[in-house]
Chain A
Amino acid sequence: NAGVTQTPKFQVLKTGQSMTLQCAQDMNHEYMSWYRQDPGMGLRLIHYSVGAGITDQGEVPNGYNVSRSTTEDFPLRLLSAAPSQTSVYFCASSYSKFREAFFGQGTRLTVV
Chain B
Amino acid sequence: AQSVTQLDSHVSVSEGTPVLLRCNYSSSYSPSLFWYVQHPNKGLQLLLKYTSAATLVKGINGFEAEFKKSETSFHLTKPSAHMSDAAEYFCVVSLISGGGADGLTFGKGTHLIIQP
What is the size, in residues, of chain A's interface with B at 8 Å between Cβ atoms? 23
A111 interface residue per 8 A CB criterion: no
Residue of B whose beta carbon sits closest to that of A101:
B104
Question: Given the known A-B contacts A40-B9, A43-B90, A99-B94, are A104 and B43 also in contact in the complex, defined by CB atoms under 8 Å?
Answer: yes
Q: Which of B20-56 contact A (CB under 8 A)?
A: 32, 34, 36, 41-46, 49
Q: Are A43 and B94 in contact (CB under 8 A)?
A: no
Measured between beta carbons, the chain A residues less than 8 angstroms from B104 are 45, 97-98, 101
What is the size, in residues, of chain B's interface with A at 8 Å between Cβ atoms? 22
Name the contact of A42 in the complex, choosing from B41, B45, B90 (C-beta under 8 A).
B90
B11 interface residue per 8 A CB criterion: no
Interface string of B74-115 (1 = CB under 8 A from A): 000000000000000010001110100001101111000000
Instruction: List residues of chain B with CB under 8 Å of any chain A CB.
Output: 9, 32, 34, 36, 41-46, 49, 90, 94-96, 98, 103-104, 106-109
27 of the cross-chain contacts (CB-CB < 8 Å) are: A4-B43, A31-B103, A33-B103, A35-B106, A40-B108, A41-B108, A42-B107, A43-B44, A43-B90, A45-B104, A48-B103, A90-B44, A92-B44, A97-B103, A97-B104, A98-B32, A98-B95, A98-B96, A98-B98, A98-B103, A100-B32, A100-B34, A100-B46, A103-B36, A103-B43, A105-B43, A106-B43
Instruction: List residues of chain A with CB under 8 Å of any chain B CB.
Output: 4, 31, 33, 35, 40-45, 48, 90, 92, 97-106
